[in-house]
Chain A
C-alpha cells in the first residue's frame, strides 16, 4: 500500500453508465492513478466488502457513489462507505435524485418482481421467484432484500457533495478531479459542504445556442414526424423541452443535437421541486385561456409524471408511492 490518498467508487441501483463516464475522461484517468490509490471499485477491480470493513474509519479520501438505494445491500455499503470516507460524493443522477430506477417508485415491489420474473416475455412456468434466504447443504445463503421504494443517497446517509448528470459529462468529471488534485497540492480550496460540483448554477437554456422569442404554444408535439427548425428554441416549436428548469453544465448537448432536454442534470439552483418548476413554466407559455382548449393542448403531454419527473421522482417532494407502498407486504 502506498501513502497516496485513497479513492473508491461504488455502484448501487444504477446502470453502470457513470463508471463508463469516469473511464471516458481519457488520459485524465492517469491523473487519478498518479494521485490516488484506488482501493475499492467493483467495476474496475477485485475487492471484497470485508476489505473495506477492515479499513480505518475516514481512511478513504474520496468516494464517488453512484446509484440509488434500492435494497439492503445498497444501504449497507452506503453506510459503510460513509463511515470510511472523508468526502462522499453523490455521483450521477441516481444517487442525487433517483433517476430512471427511481421511476419504479410508481409501482409496488410485487408488481416490479412480477414484471421481471413472470411476464409474457419471461418464460417462468414453475413460478420461480427469488427468495431472500435459501438453505443449502453448505449453509443458509442470502440475497439482498428489495425495499418498497428507491431512496436517493442523501435520504440514507450524509452526503458531502452532489455531482448531477446521467451520466455526469466527462469534461465535468475531469474538472472535478483536477480540483481535488489541486486541493491535495494546496493550490485550491474545497467548495462548502453540500455544494453541487461539476455543474453550473443556471439552466440549460443559458447554454443553449438556439434563438428564443416570446413563447406561445398552441400544441405540444413529439420530436419526430414533423420538420424541426434547427436554430429555433424547441419549446417555442411545441416540443416539450425540459431545459427551462434543468441545471446547466452539459453544454446543452441534447438541444444542440436536435433533441429536447429531458432533464438529466436535475433541478437548477434554488429549485425545490423540479417537476413543479416545469409545470409552472409549461403552463405559463400555453396560449389559451379556455379550459377545454387547455385540456386539449395538455393532451399533447400524454405522461406528465414521466415528462416532469423522469430523473427526479425519488428526489421530488412527492417521492411517489410513499403511503401506498408503506403498507404493502409482498
Chain B
C-alpha cells in the first residue's frame, strides 16, 4: 500500500478532567486536527486497562494515543503516574510481540492545551502513517468487530 494514501485509524484515550477538555477546547476554538483519531473518554488515564490498548490494536487500530493530566496534576492525586508505568510496560511487551512500540504514545495535556493536543494528534498521525498499517489479526479496522479473525492456514 502506498503510505501517502494510507489513512491510519487511531484510538485516543482521554481523561475527563484534562485532555478531553483540551480536545473540547480545540473544537470550540475551531482548531483543526486530522479525523483519524477516535477519542474515548475515561474518567482518568489511570482507568486505562492495557486490555483496551491490545483490544484496539487487534481490532483494526494502527495506533493508540493515551492522554492524561500533567504529572502532579492528576484529579485523583497520582493515577496518571500509574498510566505512565503501564505505558512503559505496554511498549516493552508490544516490542516482544513484534509490534512497533511507537504505535502507542503517551501525551500529557491540560484542559487549557487545545493547541498542544491538536499538534500531538497531527504529529502522531504522521508517525503512524510512516509506520504503515498494522493490520493485526486480519480485522478490517471498521471499529465494530469484537472477535478477531483467525487467518487461513498456509502449508509449512
Is A286 in contact with B85, judged by CB distance below 8 angstroms? yes
Stretch at the interface among A2-10, A157-165, A203-211, A320-328: A320-328
List the A side residues contacting B138 at CB < 8 Å. 322-323, 326
Task: Provide the bound-state CA to CA distance between A109 and B155, in Å.
Answer: 9
Q: How many whole Å from A156's CB to the nearest CB in chain B?
A: 8
**A330 contacts partner chain B, Cβ-Cβ < 8 Å:** yes
B156 with A145: CB separation less than 8 A? yes
Cβ-defined contact, A305 with B97, below 8 A: yes
Chain B 49-73 residues near chain A, CB threshold 8 A: 49-51, 53-55, 57-58, 71
Choice from A106, A109, A284 contacting B156 with Cβ under 8 Å: A109
Give complex CA distance A265, B109 in Å: 40
Per-residue A-contact encoding for B79-114, CB less than 8 Å = 1, 0 else: 001101110111011001111000000000000000
With A283-B89, A291-B84 in contact, is A272–B155 under 8 Å at CB?
A: no
Residue of B whose beta carbon sits closest to that of A313: B97
Residues of chain B with a CB closer than 8 A to A304's CB: 89, 92-93, 96
Q: How far is the CB of A319 from chain B (nearest CB, A)?
A: 7
Cα A329 to Cα B156 in complex, Å, equals: 7
In the bound complex, CA of A321 to CA of B58 (Å): 11
B150 touches A155 (CB 8 A): yes
Q: How far is the CA of A310 from the CA of B99 in the complex (A)?
A: 18
Tell me whether A243 is interfacial, beta carbon within 8 Å. no
A280 within 8 A of B: yes
Task: Specify which chain B residues have a CB less than 8 angstroms from the CB of A284 in the assembled complex.
Answer: 82, 85
Q: Does B50 lie within 8 Å of A305, measured CB to CB?
A: no
Chain A interface size, under 10 / 10 to 19 / 20 to 34 / 35 or more: 35 or more
CB contact under 8 A between A322 and B156, given known A106-B98, A277-B51: no
Q: Which residues of A contact B153 (CB under 8 A)?
A: 72, 145, 147-148
How far apart are the CA atoms of A147 and B151 in the complex, in Å? 10
Contacts of A321 in B (CB 8 A): 97-98
Given contacts A283-B86, A318-B57, contact A151 B51 (CB under 8 A): no
- Complex: A142 Cα to B82 Cα, angstroms: 54
A286 to B89, CA, bound (A): 11
Q: Does B137 contact A (CB under 8 A)?
A: yes
Query: Which A residue sits closest to B71, measured CB to CB?
Result: A289
In whole angstroms, what is the CA distance A329 to B152 when docked?
Answer: 12
- In the complex, the answer to whether A145 meets B155 with C-beta atoms within 8 Å is yes
Does A282 belong to the interface (CB within 8 Å)? yes
Q: Does B154 contact A (CB under 8 A)?
A: yes
B33 within 8 A of A: no
Contact (A319, B58) CB under 8 Å given A148-B151, A148-B154: yes
CB of B51 within 8 A of CB of A272, answer yes
In the complex, whether A295 has a CB less than 8 A from a CB of chain B is yes
| CA–CA, A243 and B55, complex, Å | 23
Could you write out 8 A-B pairs with CB less than 8 Å apart?
A273-B50, A275-B54, A276-B54, A283-B88, A284-B85, A304-B96, A305-B96, A330-B156
Identify the B interface with A (CB < 8 A).
Answer: 49-51, 53-55, 57-58, 71, 78, 81-82, 84-86, 88-90, 92-93, 96-99, 134-138, 148, 150-156
Add 7 more A-B contacts to A132-B156, A317-B51, A326-B151 (CB < 8 A): A109-B156, A155-B150, A275-B50, A276-B51, A283-B86, A286-B85, A318-B57
Query: Which residues does A use to contact B, with CB under 8 Å?
Result: 72, 106, 109, 113, 132, 145-148, 151, 155, 272-273, 275-277, 279-280, 282-284, 286, 288-289, 291, 294-295, 298, 301, 303-306, 308-309, 316-326, 328-330
